Amino acid sequence: MTITAEVEPGTISRTDFATALVAGTVQAINVLERPASGVIALIRGSVHIPLSELGMRLNAIDRARDVVVYCSDDSSALSKLAVAHLARAGFRVRRYAGGLEEWDEAGLPVERFEAQTPLYS
Whether the per-residue pLDDT at 2 is higher than 90: the answer is no
What is the predicted pLDDT for the residue at 100? 93
CATH number (3.90.180.10, 3.40.250.10, 3.40.30.20, 3.40.50.150) of 14-114 reads 3.40.250.10
- The full DSSP string for the chain is --------TTB--HHHHHHHHHHT-EEEEE-PPPPSSSEEEEETTEEE--GGGGGGGGGGS-TTSEEEEE-SSTT-SHHHHHHHHHHHTT--EEE-TTHHHHHHHTT--EEEEETTS----
Domain ranges of the chain: 14-114
φ, ψ of residue 106 in degrees (nearest 5): -80, -5
Instruction: Tell if the pTM clears 0.75, that is, is over it.
Output: yes
Whether the per-residue pLDDT at 1 is higher than 70: the answer is no
CB 21 within 8 A of CB 13: no
Local confidence band at 6 (pLDDT 50, 70, 90 cut-offs): very low
